[in-house]
Amino acid sequence: MGEFSGKVAVVTAAAGAGIGQATARSLAKEGANVVVSDAHAKRTAQVASEIMNEYGVKTLGIQCDVRIPGQVGGMVDQTLKEWGRIDILVNNAGIDKPSPVWEMDDESWNLIIDTNLKGVFNCCRAVIPTMMKQRYGKIVNMSSVLAWLGGEEEGVAYVTAKAGIQGLTRAIARQVGQFNINVNAVAPGLAYNPFMDKLQPPEYFQKIRSQEILGRDGTPQDMANAILFLCSEKAGFITGSCLCISGGWFMY
Amino acid sequence: MVKKVLNFFPTIDILVNNAGWTRDLLFIEKPRSDWEKEIAINLWGVINCSRAVLDVMIGQKSGKIVNLASDVGRVGEYKEAVYGACKAGVIALGKALAREVGRYQINVNSVCPASTPPVEEGSYGEFSLWKEMAGLFTPEIREKARKAYSLRRLGTAQDIADMVVFLCSDRASFITGQAISVSGGYTMV
């Protein structure tokens, strides 16, 4: 029996190389049945089947663009049809197109805000009525150290969205606490995966590494560990909090 | 204390600075002796214990220190002025130490509870601050307090212990210098 046996967890952007897949795998390892949600159809199906085979839990691979309420609603409907409940929602989906503020076009701003911020709202709004009926639910949203620090190399829309997620987390936590639903955020520092090398030059990582006082990069697993803790019964009295996991880069 | 521990065990892996004390009184009504006791226990206590174990932990190149701070140290509270100042001090102390000893793989974090009243009369020790304060938590007050929390319940000692244990575990090895509220949505800082 794992810590999350019998629970149903939805993890968005769970088919990539980062925090989402690490979280989906960790939940499955502890016995949860997992909805692997991602915008990429092929990887979604592949990761869902890998997790099912590796951990012996039930999985659903559902292609979903979190920007589109209809697709989010469809994902929730399909999950409820299969399993009848949703205990855990991890809002991990995010995107950035780094550019200075004076070069950022409307299209990029909208894409980033819609994915990172409105996507979290869309998923929360779709899942919370079920959690209210259950009188049980755990939601974890992905903020970032950049919400406090700003980012010289990162997009302003990304930083804005990640700060917005903290406000959204507190606002929702206040409203749904009475239904025994915990809503928290985690704020990762660098959760390094090799895919990131395609997005940023080596100097970008060196600058961050000089701030990581524990002398190592964070990993997707470091973040998954904290997300699992926040979804566990051990964190039952924590809501509206933001847990910063950055190896000392930022101290909240 | 540290010498005694080292007589029995080869290492000190974890220090939980839990000792604390206060008595709820308005700042202008509180005698200086109470402030001094608050600073001695809540702030000097953490400084003394941290100082005493750090040589050991630095030698080991590993260690976990968890301080029991308080949401009061982040938002302030009536009748807890100097206590809150101490708790704010504990948070800053933890962050400074985290910066200084991170290179030795020592994690230093603070946990910020809200009010964590004893579950029942007598479930606290002789020197507990609750000896004087527990009487304040009548069933009516508990009921009123409960509603001030988003989760509609008061915290328990176990709620706090669970976070302390998490922070001491390998699963939290990338978390350092943080102040983390376990307070049912009381402050949400």
For residues B137 and B173, membership in a common domain is answered with: no
Distance CA A194, CA A188 (A): 16
Distance CA B82, CA A61 (A): 54
B18 in contact with A, Cβ within 8 Å: no
Q: Is A222 exposed, middle or buried (0-12, 13-18, 19+ CB in 10 A)?
A: buried
Closest CA to A153 of A228, A204, A214: A204
Active site residues of B: 83
For residues B97 and B135, membership in a common domain is answered with: no
Closest CA to A115 of A187, A7, A12, A203: A12
Assess if residue A168 is contained within a domain: yes
- Provide the domain limits for residue A48: 8-242
User: Which chain B residues are closer than 8 Å to A236 by Cβ?
Assistant: 151, 159
- Provide the domain limits for residue B122: 117-154
> Domain total for chain B?
2
For residues B22 and B101, membership in a common domain is answered with: yes
Task: With a cut of 80, say whether residue B123 has pLDDT above it.
Answer: no
Question: Residue A91's domain is classified under what CATH number?
Answer: 3.40.50.720
Is the Cβ–Cβ distance between B184 and A239 less than 8 Å? yes
Closest CA to B92 of B178, B189, B163, B167: B178
Distance (Å) from the C-alpha of residue B27 to the closest C-alpha of chain A? 28
Q: In this predicted structure, what is the pLDDT of residue B33?
A: 98
Assess if residue A105 is contained within a domain: yes
For residues B162 and B137, membership in a common domain is answered with: no
Assess if residue A81 is contained within a domain: yes
Assess if residue B187 is contained within a domain: no
Assess if residue A201 is contained within a domain: yes
> Could you tell me which residues come within 8 angstroms of residue B53 by beta carbon, excluding any fewer than 6 positions away?
B2, B12, B15, B63, B65
Assess if residue B84 is contained within a domain: yes
Is the Cβ–Cβ distance between A204 and A189 less than 8 Å? no
* B interface test, pick of A165, A214, A230, A233 with most B CB neighbours within 10 Å: A214
On the CB side of A221, CA atoms within 13 Å amount to 6
* A104 phi-psi bin (left φ>0, alpha ψ -120 to 50, beta other): beta
Closest CA to A58 of A112, A129, A10, A107: A10
For residues B124 and B84, membership in a common domain is answered with: no
Assess if residue A251 is contained within a domain: no
Assess if residue B32 is contained within a domain: yes
In this complex, which of B156, B175, B185 lies closest to A177 when CB atoms are compared?
Answer: B185
In this complex, which of B95, B166, B172 lies closest to A251 when CB atoms are compared?
Answer: B95
Q: In this predicted structure, what is the pLDDT of residue A1?
A: 78
Contacts of the segment B31-39: beta carbons below 8 A, 24+ positions apart: B34/B82, B35/B82, B38/B82, B38/B83, B38/B86, B39/B82, B39/B86
In this complex, which of B98, B162, B172 lies closest to A251 when CB atoms are compared?
Answer: B98
Distance CA B21, CA B72 (A): 13
For residues B59 and B89, membership in a common domain is answered with: yes
Query: For a pLDDT cut of 90, what percent of chain B falls above it?
Result: 80
Distance (Å) from the C-alpha of residue A231 to the closest C-alpha of chain B? 13
A214: nearest CA in chain B? Answer: B102
- H helices of chain A, where? 19-29, 41-55, 69-83, 106-113, 119-134, 146-149, 156-176, 202-209, 220-231
> Domain total for chain A?
1
User: Which chain B residues are closer than 8 Å to A244 by Cβ?
Assistant: 175, 178
Q: Which residue is listed with tokens 């949860």?
A: A32
For residues B69 and B16, membership in a common domain is answered with: yes
For residues B109 and B32, membership in a common domain is answered with: yes
Distance CA A236, CA A25 (A): 22
Distance (Å) from the C-alpha of residue B141 to the closest C-alpha of chain A? 19
Confidence label for B4 from pLDDT (cuts 50, 70 and 90): very high
Assess if residue B53 is contained within a domain: yes
Three-state SS sequence of A27-56: HHHCCCEEEEEECCHHHHHHHHHHHHHHHC
**pLDDT digit string (tens) for B78-111?**
999 999 999 999 999 999 999 999 999 999 999 9
Residue-averaged pLDDT of chain B: 94
Distance (Å) from the C-alpha of residue B112 to the closest C-alpha of chain A? 11
Distance CA A68, CA A80 (A): 19
User: Which chain B residues are closer than 8 Å to A218 by Cβ?
Assistant: 174
Q: In this predicted structure, what is the pLDDT of residue A199?
A: 84
B179: nearest CA in chain A? Answer: A252
For residues B69 and B132, membership in a common domain is answered with: no
Assess if residue A250 is contained within a domain: no
Catalytic residue among A158, A192, A204, A252: A158
Distance CA A231, CA A90 (A): 9
Q: What is the pLDDT along chain A (252 residues), one digit of tens a residue?
A: 799 999 999 999 999 999 999 999 999 999 999 999 999 999 999 999 999 999 999 999 999 999 999 999 999 999 999 999 999 999 999 999 888 999 999 999 999 999 999 999 999 999 999 999 999 999 999 999 999 999 988 889 999 999 999 999 999 999 999 999 999 999 999 999 998 898 889 999 999 999 999 999 999 999 999 999 999 999 999 999 999 999 999 999
Confidence label for B45 from pLDDT (cuts 50, 70 and 90): very high
For residues B86 and B168, membership in a common domain is answered with: yes
C-alpha to C-alpha distances, B112 to A173, A248, B106, nearest whole angstrom: 18, 18, 20
ipTM rounded to 2 decimals: 0.91
Assess if residue B129 is contained within a domain: yes
List, edge to edge, every strand of the sheet that includes A88-91.
Answer: A59-63, A33-38, A8-12, A88-91, A137-142, A181-188, A242-245
